[in-house]
Amino acid sequence: MAPKDQTLKIVTAQVHTLHDPERALDVLETRVRELSSEHVDLALFPEVFSAVGTFCDEKDHNPYTNHWRASADLGDTPKGADQKWMKRELPRPPNRTHRGEGTRERLEKIATDTGVFIIVGVVERCGGTLYSSIVYICPRLGVIGKRRKVMPTGLERVAWGQGSPSTLEAVSTTIKVNAKDEGIAAICWENWMPLLRQSIYEQGINLFLGPTAHATEIWVPLMQTIGIECNAFVLSATPCIRASDLPEWITESAERGDEIVSRGGSVIVSPSGDVAMAHSKNDDFVFTVDGLDMRTS
């Protein structure tokens, strides 16, 4: 058995987002604080968990405008400033202590206060475009990486732009003293892109992250395939959503029951392709795997 300082306690969260970005961040903070009390090292949340707004409502039938207003300005540039953005070297607006509207700073504070390494999906606005983005937040260093989904899927292309493939770089950190961790997130549909997966495998990662909103039976076998292909631990977070979680403009009824709309199905897979832990469907919880030996991948 590996020493405790070479193993991780990790979580994938099946928590659904809310249509109010501030409330979504409140939920994330509450969950992460609970995980911190259980000595969790790393938590993965689903695609676009934070800062997701309604696409339309009865008063305003401009869905893109609503989505835009509820998105997060992280202070980056349209091209993506990468290291300059992460190191806060970009110029700030006059009389402002930071770029953006504060989502980045709040996420960093949550990670710092709890000691939990957080990976979370955000709808990011930048320039005139929205992106499905993933942010990696280290409790010691703050944001150490961000990437934008390179290929929005289907109707997503109406709302989201294409991110640059240059962001497909693994983040490297040391969560425990004697265990170096290298990981990268492939967002939802990207996991079905073999060349994109290969570009990730070539970086020698030991954590493959698959945040998604995809809740079908085929998802878990895909994660198992990826585990075998890259010989790494695979973490996937998929939200569980009930009708009562949706706004009335979607359900077209004020009476919304608890029937399941999206079943979830988050999973953790070992480098051998075995399912280390899988969510029971139809719940809105997090689950934990303790003792991941990062030397095995």
Residues designated catalytic: 47, 149, 188
Task: Dig out the tokens for 296 from the structure.
Answer: 């095995």
CA nearest to 103, candidates 57, 143, 131: 143
Task: Dig out the tokens for 64 from the structure.
Answer: 């893109």
State which amino acid sits at residue 290.
D
Residue 279 DSSP class: P
Largest CA distance in the chain: 59
- Distance between CA atoms of residues 30 and 26, nearest Å: 6
CA nearest to 100, candidates 121, 127, 132, 119: 127
SS3 243: helix
- Distance between CA atoms of residues 127 and 139, nearest Å: 29
- Distance between CA atoms of residues 55 and 23, nearest Å: 17
- Distance between CA atoms of residues 131 and 46, nearest Å: 15
Residue 10 parent element (H or E): strand 7-13
